[in-house]
């Protein structure tokens, strides 16, 4: 009887308990979702998510995702993060639901933190971070490698109603309707232009310091992007690597000071705001911001582990107050893990660059980069030859673009937004007006018009005017990879309406190897030149070469030239070149030289032929090259200088050559980073001519008689004013960025930057070379007599200037300090230039 009663009571209790648990007040509430930036749509990692009125909360992961649950009565979720407006959203109690948040940035700048007494508690933590750098920095490892996945997206943002009403945008209204949906519930519309994904293997070796990336697969989709060969080399992880353990980080070619740099206290203020577990690591949270908002420094948050004082996570931003052009914001987010050897390596990186509108009637741009690293191996270096090429692209990298296949390669699946981006770009590319505008942009950027298997151009040399040729017109072409991946054919025809002469050039190049870049080139040319313009040395400065076709041709001459050039990269960074050149010289000015040196009774000649062989070695240890179509582009070096040594030998009697001679030339170029003091660029050069030669075959130093500043010239020197057969020169330019002017209250908003220049030549001319000049040339402006550099007396010009005026203009003030005796010598000059700098 008692058992039956207990059994009945238990059933009633169980029934009542089920009823109680089913009541909303006692059922569990689960909220999942994602926190993103309202403008960019990018995830916001490390944001605080909490049930309103409780202490139950969590933080978003690196991809902005969160999951939070509570068995207590709750009706709202609050999301907050430094630099963003806090947002609250209502939820349904007792249910599992998805609630996404889009946060809006706070536009007001951070205020300085003031501590009343005692030391800032963050300082002790930062001192330990610096003290433990050597064991936590990945550069401690002898080698490391990992599998990496990279994703890049470029969008148009800040799309205003005025911009939508422009004629071009009206043609893509249908696409814009879809864009509003891509941006999200509360987000602003964006227009995607480019998206790419790549999978690669990345390798690093410390001693000697070498790195290489093997791009295995790539998927590229973009408006106007046709051939992915060049782009594929740019979408890997090599250009998205940032190490905050370095004192200075190079971001978009600017040097930014790290918040954990050795001299952190000079640049930043800090606030210890929290301590929290991230995974298994207990971390201090420190917020930081620059002491001077105009400095190239970050603001944001770092998480430092308590045990090793290692960087666990970082969210660092640069705002529009910094001394940068066209940049609204830069944001770098990074998550690191500890390796088996103790050092920490980044496993996830996210970089956002927000480019502002150039005008009130244009839109801005967003560039978003994401990398994920897996399967990390450390301290297993390969032979140095393994790292011979910085970037290696698999031949079949672009052949596997099926979506199902890429689902097996991605470290994380694409979001619905990213899937929509692919579809929208496909739609944009098929709009006729979009095709037209992209073709125009390609012509402006590349200088050539793509006409299938050939490129027509370059347009920059199509028209010129000077006193010898009058109006000059020119047209040319060169083949591309559609024609051949091994052979390149090109040529041009030009005509001067004043001199009535036809000019031409033609070349044939064979690419023998792309692995160790090897080319053989034959070139024929007949044209008008200027004495003192070394077109070979100025080959990369095509704007200057085109500009020198205009104006008064002082010391002009006609020439016929045939040339053979062979070059090969022997090993990483070392290129060997052998060339042969034969040319004629027919001056348009009063010129003559004694056939037998200083013998006044010898015949006076005014034309000559010369043949020479050139042997050149070039060493640039950490230079990075990209292959674009059938060309190789240099991105410069990171730390080491570029050293070139050239030996030239004249072959008298060969093909009618009149002279035998020897020349030796050495040059060195180096960019020097001075941290807060800016960046310098130094070019050292020297040449020695061992024989007696007519002065057009000696060293004529490049002057400038225009009001346009040119870095490669001596700006207060006249064209051909100085000649030497031996010299050493230095050309130095220093960009102070905002180092000084940022400290002047009235100058901060202008964002002007100081620049300093110095040009020095020390040299001279042997008396035998002077005596070779015939008396018939010693009159008027054509005489070089006053142009000999005197022994022990260098030519010096020093300058100072201001750049970044209205973002595009630069003004230089140059003083000439030597060779001031001639009445018409320019002792001081003001020069202007147009430049595009960030």
Handedness of CA 383, 387, 389, 392 (dihedral sign): positive
What digits encode the pLDDT tens for the residues 250-268? 887 788 899 999 999 989 9
| pLDDT value for 244 | 94
Query: CB-based burial of residue 418 (10 Å sphere; 0-12 exposed, 13-18 middle, 19+ buried)?
Result: middle
Q: Is the predicted pLDDT of residue 87 greater than 50, yes or no? A: yes
Confidence of residue 234 (pLDDT cuts 50, 70, 90): low
Q: Please give the residue that has the higher pLDDT: either 784 or 594.
A: 594
Average pLDDT over residues 620-634: 81
Angle at alpha carbon of residue 625, lines to 619 and 629, rounded to 5° = 135
| pLDDT value for 571 | 86
Highest mean pLDDT: which range of 35-49, 277-291, 360-374: 277-291
d(CA 703, CA 710): 10
Q: Is the predicted pLDDT of residue 740 greater than 80, yes or no? A: no
pTM tops 0.85: no
Confidence of residue 493 (pLDDT cuts 50, 70, 90): very high
Percent of the chain with pLDDT over 90: 39
Q: Is the predicted pLDDT of residue 1 greater than 60, yes or no? A: no
Q: Is the predicted pLDDT of residue 110 greater than 50, yes or no? A: no
Lookup: tokens for 14: 């169980």
| pLDDT value for 781 | 43
- Of the candidate CATH numbers 2.60.40.1120, 1.10.3720.10, 1.10.10.10, 3.40.50.300, the domain formed by 21-103 belongs to 2.60.40.1120
**623 Cβ neighbours under 8 A, 6+ residues apart:** 573, 634, 635, 636, 637, 642
d(CA 581, CA 205): 42
Helix axes 432-446, 416-429, angle to 10 degrees: 90
Q: Is the predicted pLDDT of residue 25 greater than 50, yes or no? A: no
Q: Exposed e or buried b for every residue in 588-599, given b needs 16+ CB within 10 A?
A: bbbbbbbeeeee
Among 79-88, 458-467, 742-751, the minimum mean pLDDT is found in 742-751
| pLDDT value for 82 | 81
| pLDDT value for 441 | 67
What digits encode the pLDDT tens for the residues 630-656? 888 787 887 889 999 999 999 999 999
Contact present, 435 and 222 (Cβ < 8 Å): no
Instruction: Tell me the C-alpha to C-alpha distance, in Å, between residue 510 and each of 227, 246, 485, 522, 788.
Output: 21, 43, 9, 9, 42
Confidence of residue 541 (pLDDT cuts 50, 70, 90): low
Contact present, 801 and 767 (Cβ < 8 Å): no
Q: How many residues are there in the chain?
A: 838
Among 111-120, 695-704, 722-731, the minimum mean pLDDT is found in 111-120
CA-CA-CA-CA dihedral for 808, 444, 505, 451, to nearest 10: 170
Lookup: tokens for 173: 């209204």
Q: Is the predicted pLDDT of residue 460 greater than 60, yes or no? A: yes
| pLDDT value for 689 | 95
Q: Is the predicted pLDDT of residue 26 greater than 60, yes or no? A: no
Q: Please give the residue that has the higher pLDDT: either 193 or 477.
A: 477
Query: Per-domain residue ranges for the chain?
Result: 21-103, 146-239+382-421, 245-381, 514-519+528-834
- Of the candidate CATH numbers 2.30.30, 2.40.160, 3.40.50, 2.60.40, the domain formed by 514-519+528-834 belongs to 2.40.160
DSSP 714: B
Name the average pLDDT for the chain.
83
Among 170-174, 287-291, 681-685, 707-711, the minimum mean pLDDT is found in 170-174
């Amino acid at each position: 009887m008692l058992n039956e009663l207990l059994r009945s009571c238990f059933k009633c209790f169980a029934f009542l308990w089920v009823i109680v648990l089913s009541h909303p007040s006692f059922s569990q509430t689960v909220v999942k979702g994602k926190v993103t930036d309202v403008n960019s749509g990018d995830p916001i990692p490390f944001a605080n998510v909490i049930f309103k009125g409780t202490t139950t909360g969590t933080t978003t992961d690196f991809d902005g995702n969160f999951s939070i649950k509570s068995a207590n009565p709750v009706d709202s979720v609050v999301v907050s993060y430094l630099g963003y407006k806090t947002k609250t959203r209502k939820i349904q109690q007792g249910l599992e639901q998805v609630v996404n948040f889009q946060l809006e940035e706070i536009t007001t700048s951070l205020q300085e933190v003031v501590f009343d007494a005692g030391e800032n508690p963050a300082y002790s933590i930062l001192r330990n971070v610096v003290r433990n750098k050597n064991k936590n920095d990945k550069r401690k490892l002898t080698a490391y490698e990992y599998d990496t996945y990279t994703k890049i997206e470029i969008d148009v943002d800040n799309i205003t109603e005025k911009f939508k009403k422009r004629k071009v945008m009206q043609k893509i209204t249908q696409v814009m309707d879809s864009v509003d949906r891509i941006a999200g519930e509360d987000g602003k519309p964006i227009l995607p232009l480019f998206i790419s994904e790549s999978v690669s293997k990345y390798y690093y070796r410390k001693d000697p310091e070498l790195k290489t990336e093997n791009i295995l697969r790539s998927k590229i989709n973009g408006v106007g992007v046709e051939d992915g060969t060049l782009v594929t080399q740019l979408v890997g992880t090599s250009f998205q690597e940032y190490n905050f353990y370095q004192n200075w980080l190079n971001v978009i070619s600017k040097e930014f000071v790290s918040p954990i740099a050795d001299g952190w206290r000079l640049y930043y203020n800090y606030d210890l705001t929290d301590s929290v577990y991230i995974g298994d690591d207990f971390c201090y949270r420190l917020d930081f911001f620059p002491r001077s908002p105009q400095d190239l420094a970050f603001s944001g948050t770092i998480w430092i582990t308590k045990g090793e004082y290692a960087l666990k996570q970082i969210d660092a931003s640069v705002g529009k107050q910094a001394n940068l052009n066209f940049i609204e914001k830069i944001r770098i987010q990074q998550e690191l893990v500890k390796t088996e050897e103790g050092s920490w390596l980044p496993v996830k990186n996210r970089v956002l660059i927000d480019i502002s509108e150039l005008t009130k009637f244009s839109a801005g741009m967003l560039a978003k980069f994401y990398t994920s690293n897996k399967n990390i191996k450390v301290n297993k270096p390969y032979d140095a030859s393994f790292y011979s090429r910085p970037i290696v692209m698999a031949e079949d990298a672009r052949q596997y673009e099926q979506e199902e296949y890429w689902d097996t390669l991605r470290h994380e699946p694409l979001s619905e937004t990213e899937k929509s981006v692919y579809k929208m770009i496909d739609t944009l590319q098929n709009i006729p007006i979009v095709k037209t505008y992209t073709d125009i942009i390609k012509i402006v950027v590349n200088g050539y018009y793509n006409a299938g298997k050939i490129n027509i151009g370059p347009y920059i040399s199509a028209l010129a005017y000077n006193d010898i040729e009058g109006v000059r017109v020119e047209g040319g072409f060169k083949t591309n990879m559609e024609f051949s991946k091994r052979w390149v054919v090109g040529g041009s025809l030009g005509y001067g309406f004043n001199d009535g002469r036809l000019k031409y050039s033609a070349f044939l190049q064979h690419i023998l190897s792309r692995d160790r870049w090897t080319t053989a080139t034959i070139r024929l040319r007949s044209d008008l030149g200027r004495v003192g313009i070394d077109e070979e040395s100025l080959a990369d400065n095509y704007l200057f070469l085109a500009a020198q076709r205009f104006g008064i041709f002082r010391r002009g001459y006609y020439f016929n030239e045939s040339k053979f050039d062979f070059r090969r990269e022997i090993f990483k960074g070392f290129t060997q070149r052998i060339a042969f050149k034969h040319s004629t010289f027919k001056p348009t000015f009063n010129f003559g030289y004694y056939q037998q040196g200083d013998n006044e009774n010898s015949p006076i000649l005014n034309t000559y032929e010369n043949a020479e062989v050139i042997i050149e070695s070039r060493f640039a240890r950490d230079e990075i090259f990209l292959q674009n179509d059938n060309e190789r582009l240099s991105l410069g070096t990171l730390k080491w200088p570029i050293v070139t040594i050239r030996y030239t030998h004249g072959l008298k009697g060969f093909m009618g050559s009149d002279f035998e001679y020897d020349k030796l030339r050495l040059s060195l170029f180096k960019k020097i980073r001075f941290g807060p003091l800016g960046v310098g660029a130094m070019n050292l050069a020297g040449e020695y001519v061992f024989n007696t030669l007519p002065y057009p075959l000696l060293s004529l130093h490049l002057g400038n008689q225009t009001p346009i500043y040119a870095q490669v010239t001596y700006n207060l020197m006249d064209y051909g004013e100085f000649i030497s057969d031996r010299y050493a020169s230095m050309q130095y330019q220093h960009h102070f960025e905002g180092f000084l002017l940022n400290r002047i209250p009235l100058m901060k908003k202008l964002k002007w930057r100081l620049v300093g220049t110095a040009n020095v030549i020390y040299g001279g001319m042997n008396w035998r070379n002077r005596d070779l000049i015939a008396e018939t040339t010693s009159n008027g402006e054509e005489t070089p007599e006053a142009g000999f550099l005197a022994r022990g007396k260098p030519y010096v010009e020093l300058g100072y200037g201001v750049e970044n005026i209205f973002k595009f203009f630069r003004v230089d003030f140059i003083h000439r300090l030597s060779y001031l005796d001639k009445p018409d010598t320019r002792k001081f000059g003001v020069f202007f230039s147009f430049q595009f700098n960030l």
